Amino acid sequence: MKKTLFLSSLLLCSTAFAQRVPFVYEQENTGANVQVDLPSVAELPVVETLTDPLMWSNGKARVKNFSEWSQRRGEIAKEIQHYGIGIKPAVERQNVHPRMDGDTLFVDVERNGKTITLRMTLHYPKQGTAPYPLMIGTSHNSLPSWIILERPIAYATYHENQVNPYSQFGGEKGGRGTYPFDVLYPEYKDNGAYAEWAWGISRLLDGLQMLGPEKTRIDIKHIGVTGCSYAGKMALYCGAFDERIALTIAQEPGGGGAAAWRVSSTMTDVESIDRTDYHWFQESQKTNFGGENVKRLPYDQHELCAMVCPRALLLLGNPDYKWLADEAMYVSANAAKKVWEAFGIADRMGYSIQGGHPHCMLPAVQCPEVEAFIDRFLLGKEYMRGTVAIAPMFEGKVDLKKWIQF
């Protein structure tokens, strides 16, 4: 089982090697076949600080080079599913049947003689030539529309209610085991919504990939996801669990997104493991890891963020809203960033935590970093250099060494 080790050395990678590290993959999950022990809660060690994302789950060694990362990432994925959100089931291609009707993608997914249909309407740019990069808004796209419309980028909305029709504003409709996802997977009725929402977006990506750019006019190698608040969490889980997503922009995702559970548990009046919506997660997560037991989690949310590596991740925060626990996200972001640093690609991960604006309304001061990530990772512009690490209210004031000791 995994323990945090006090190691200070980083893996050294040359610039030439970093240039060979992929920006995206053609597979949903390159570590799908990894086997990992999943101990009972009582068997898990108490770890006061954040866990080391580069430490193998057995605690005996660290990842030595990038070639091992997909396997380590696979371990993290299985731990998060087992202890946190529930199972995101794999789907064989022969059970996925996509088609285009005008500009709308339809994907029929079948299992055991039953079928559900997912859809996503594609909006194409007025400039540029196909195939186009695509930015998908989870629930909706909360980024300023001009950022997309001024660029040769297609956009779409992933409506999560076609998988699991939960809304924090509308309440639960029917309850666990009664949603469209459950038609195919009744055995996973204890799942949290984030496992199911991530499953749904992956099936739509299956459709885009299977039909190809000739029919969809979409460049599958340049897909981005974004969302804010509970949908910011959704974007993060979707990006973490599908390696075909090149860019993830999680806007104000709060607790259970990028904010580390261990850190938020020491704060007041924030979204913590004891104070979040348990439709989103397995109810067993609170039972097993509430209170002091949060220190028995074999991972924390910085490892969810790290799952995006080596692809691009931008975290956006708003400290004016205390509930979001952005101090915990700041700690988590700095811990996760060490994985990108280890492989010499630190400029693919960044964070910008700045106040002075309403929730889910991107201010002008954060637009430059958003535009830079979109231009580089969706449009392939290489002018961006250096890293994005902006958090003036936390920089030099939060003791990172208290939490990050690897």
CA-to-CA dists, residue 45 to 3, 39, 57, 263, 327, angstroms: 7, 10, 12, 17, 25
Handedness of CA 63, 329, 74, 275 (dihedral sign): positive
Known active-site residue 70: no
Catalytic residue among 139, 142, 229, 265: 229
Q: How far apart are CA 28 and CA 241, in angstroms?
A: 7
In sign, the C-alpha dihedral spanning 55, 59, 62, 68 is: negative
Largest CA distance in the chain: 58
Active site residue 332: no
77 CB-side CA count, 13 A:
31
Which of the residues 82, 123, 159, 359 is marked catalytic?
359
Structure-token pair, residue 290? 């509430």
Active-site residues, by number, are: 229, 359
